[in-house]
């Protein structure tokens, strides 16, 4: 049994925008090598949870631990902010985020997009970074697209480039925020294949997804959020095969019918 602390541990997290409570005390753990999927209706808090995890959003209460190390905070409530900028940078560079809308730089080639952060943030050697970047682009199936620009690629290819960019940081975990929802169904399959391959390699991932088949296929643990709280969680077999809560059953039948 591994004694390693989880890569990410979130305890009793609360997040509000003004009066609107989005997360009302959520706890999620991502052990090393596990895939955690967050499912739920729009507005349930899934993406907000992911953004808080990566410190892109400030939470008002609760703990976030990265490999056992708690995020240091100062202030409280709506004034709570991370206290240590170096810690934030270290955590962020170890948690690569893949966004719904790809967020590639339009003025850079695909290879430059993938190389940029390791060069500027991690200050790694250019030759090493280029070799790694080309390797990751091959891995996601677009090694022949190094010199083209994002606008010349399909959505599926752009999203695969964004995944290669995340991998090139050699992160401890990958965070996916609805990685396939902006894509046509046939392009979606290209991206799903890459995510499945990463899962089979034992990479630590947290995935916010509307794709129940993806969640069922790749997850070790699935969390169903409803209005800022965890309504139900467990293995994909249990959650999708024998859901206990009425809300989850309703959600699954609605997504199945869609």
- 1 pLDDT band, cuts 50/70/90, is low
pLDDT of 45: 95
Task: List the beta bridge partners of residue 204.
Answer: 173
Q: What percent of the chain has pLDDT over 90?
A: 92
pLDDT at 137 over 80: yes
pLDDT at 112 over 60: yes
What's the number of CA atoms in the CB half-sphere (13 Å) around residue 13?
A: 31
Q: What percent of the chain has pLDDT over 70?
A: 98
pLDDT at 29 over 90: yes
Q: What is the pLDDT of residues 168-179, one digit of tens each?
A: 999 999 999 999
User: Which domains are seen in the chain, by residue range?
Assistant: 8-102+174-257 (3.40.50.300)
- 258 pLDDT band, cuts 50/70/90, is low
Total count of residues recorded for the chain: 258
Cα separation values, 159 from 54, 139, 179, 184, Å: 19, 13, 7, 12
Helices (H), the chain: 46-53, 85-94, 110-120, 126-139, 155-168, 185-200, 212-218, 236-241, 246-257
Mean pLDDT of the chain: 95
Cβ within 8 Å of residue 231, ≥6 positions away = 40, 224, 225, 245, 247, 248
Average pLDDT, integer, range 219-228: 97
- 182 pLDDT band, cuts 50/70/90, is confident
- 2 pLDDT band, cuts 50/70/90, is low
DSSP 125-162: -HHHHHHHHHHHHHHTT-GGGTTS-GGGS-HHHHHHHH
Whole-structure pTM value: 0.94
pLDDT of 255: 86
Task: List the beta bridge partners of residue 98.
Answer: 176
């Amino acid at each position: 049994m591994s004694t390693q602390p989880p890569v990410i541990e979130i305890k009793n997290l609360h997040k509000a925008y003004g009066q609107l409570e989005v997360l009302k005390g959520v706890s999620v753990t991502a052990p090393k090598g596990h895939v955690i999927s967050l499912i739920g209706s729009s507005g349930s808090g899934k993406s907000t949870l992911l953004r808080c995890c990566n410190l892109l959003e400030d939470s008002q209460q609760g703990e976030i631990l990265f490999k056992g190390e708690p995020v240091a905070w100062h202030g409280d409530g709506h004034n709570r902010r991370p206290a240590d900028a170096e810690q934030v940078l270290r955590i962020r560079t170890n948690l690569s985020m893949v966004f719904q809308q790809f967020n590639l730089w339009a003025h850079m080639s695909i290879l430059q997009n993938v190389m940029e952060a390791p060069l500027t943030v991690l200050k790694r050697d250019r030759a090493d970074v280029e070799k790694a970047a080309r390797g990751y682009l091959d891995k996601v199936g677009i090694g022949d697209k190094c010199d083209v620009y994002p606008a010349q690629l399909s959505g599926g290819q752009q999203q695969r480039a964004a995944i290669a960019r995340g991998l090139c940081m050699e992160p401890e975990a990958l965070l996916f925020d609805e990685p396939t929802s902006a894509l046509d169904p046939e392009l979606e399959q290209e991206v799903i294949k890459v995510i499945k391959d990463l899962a089979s390699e034992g990479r630590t991932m947290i995935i916010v997804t509307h794709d129940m088949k993806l969640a069922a296929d790749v997850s070790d643990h699935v969390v169903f959020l409803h209005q800022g709280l965890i309504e139900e969680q467990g293995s994909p077999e249990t959650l999708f095969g024998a859901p206990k809560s009425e809300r989850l059953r309703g959600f699954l039948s609605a997504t199945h019918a869609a």
